[in-house]
Amino acid sequence: MVGRLVKLSVSVAIAAVDIVIKGLRVGRVPGYCVVINYHSVSGGSVPLLRKQLNVLSQMTRPLRATAASALEDGARYVAVTADDAFCSFTENGLPELCQRGIPVTVFVPTGYVGRKSAWDDYGGENRVGELVAAAEDLRHMAKWETVDFGSHCVSHPDLPQLSEAEAARELRESKAALEAIVGRKVVALSFPYGRYGSRELRLAAEAGYEFYFDATPQSVSSAIRGGLMGRVSVQPTDWDIEFRLKLLGAYRWVRWGSAAKRRVLSLLGRKPVPVVRN
C-alpha cells in the first residue's frame, strides 16, 4: 500500500507538471498514446471494469496496439492489451471491450492453451493456476474484428535466462502455433515478466515480430510504429484516480525509476527479481 501511494503521489505531480507545460506551450502539440495492459478480470470485478471503460471512452481515443498509425496533434489515445489469455479475461473482460468497439490485443502463452498457468507475476487478481483460453475459444475470438493476437512465448519463460537456441525456439514456435490456431499472421510479442535485452530484441526481429511490448509505462508520441513499446499495468480494482493518471501517461516515470533501481542493484551485486509491478 505504501508503494502504491508513493507511485500515486509522484504521478499526480507529473500530471500537474504536464498541465502547466501544455498551457505554456506555443504551436504544435503532438498527440500521444498510452498502452495499458490487463491480466485477470474476475466476475465480481466486471462492474469496476465497466466504469473504467466508460472513463477510457470519455478521456481517450482507443486504437490498435499492433497497427502503425499517426496520432492527431493534441489528441490523447489509448491501446488496450491483455497478457496470458486467461479465461477470466476472455469471458468477463473481452465482451465488455468488444461491445464498446474498443480494440484489444491478447497475448497468448501457446504452451498453456487450455491449461492452467504455472507462473506467478504481477499480483492483483491473477494467481498461479488460472485457466488459459482453449484453442476453440481463441478461434471464436478471432472472428471478432476488434480482437488481435500476439505471442507470449510458449512456456511463459524468463527469456534472458534461456540459451539463445532455447529463446529463439520459444519465439518461433509460439508464433507458428498461434498463427495455426487463429488463422492470422502474428506480428506482436509480449515479453514474459517484461524481461528482455538486446539479444531478445534481435531474436524477436529474426522470428518475424514487428511490435514488442514490455511491462514498464511509456507515452508514445506522434505515431504508433513497429518496435519496442512500454505498457502500464491496470486492474479493474485500480482506484479511479490511479486509472485516470495511467491513461494520462503520468505513470511513465516508473520506467525511469525501474531503470535506476536495476542500476543500483547491479552496483550492489544483486540480481533483479524478474517480476515487474506497475
Lowest mean pLDDT across 106-110, 128-132, 240-244: 128-132
Distance, in Å, from the CA atom of 76 to the CA atom of 36, rounded to the nearest integer, reads 13
The residues spanned by each domain of the chain are 2-267
Distance of alpha carbon 21 from alpha carbon 141, whole angstroms: 42
Q: Helices in 183-239 by DSSP H: which ranges?
A: 198-207
pLDDT > 90: what percent of the chain? 71
d(CA 13, CA 19): 10
Q: For 3-7, 45-49, 142-146, 159-163, which range has the lowest pLDDT when averaged over its residues?
A: 3-7
- With a CB cutoff of 8 Å and minimum separation 6, the contacts of 127 are 120
Partner residues linked to 127 by β-bridges: none
Contact indicator for 124, 39 with CB cutoff of 8 Å: yes
Instruction: Tell me the mean pLDDT in the region 211-232.
Output: 91
Place of cell 535506476: 260
**Chain segment 115-142, per-residue pLDDT in tens:** 999 886 654 444 667 899 999 999 999 9
CA distance 23 to 9: 22
Mean local confidence (pLDDT), 209-221: 92
Q: What is the pLDDT of residues 165-212, one digit of tens each?
A: 999 999 999 999 999 999 999 999 999 999 999 999 999 999 999 999
**If we measure between CA atoms, which residue out of 141, 142, 171 comes closest to residue 156?**
171
Enter the pTM of the model.
0.89
Q: Which fold is adopted by the domain 2-267?
A: TIM Barrel (3.20.20)
The total number of residues written for the chain in this structure: 278
Model confidence band, residue 275 (pLDDT cutoffs 50, 70, 90):
very low
What pLDDT is attached to residue 278?
Answer: 30
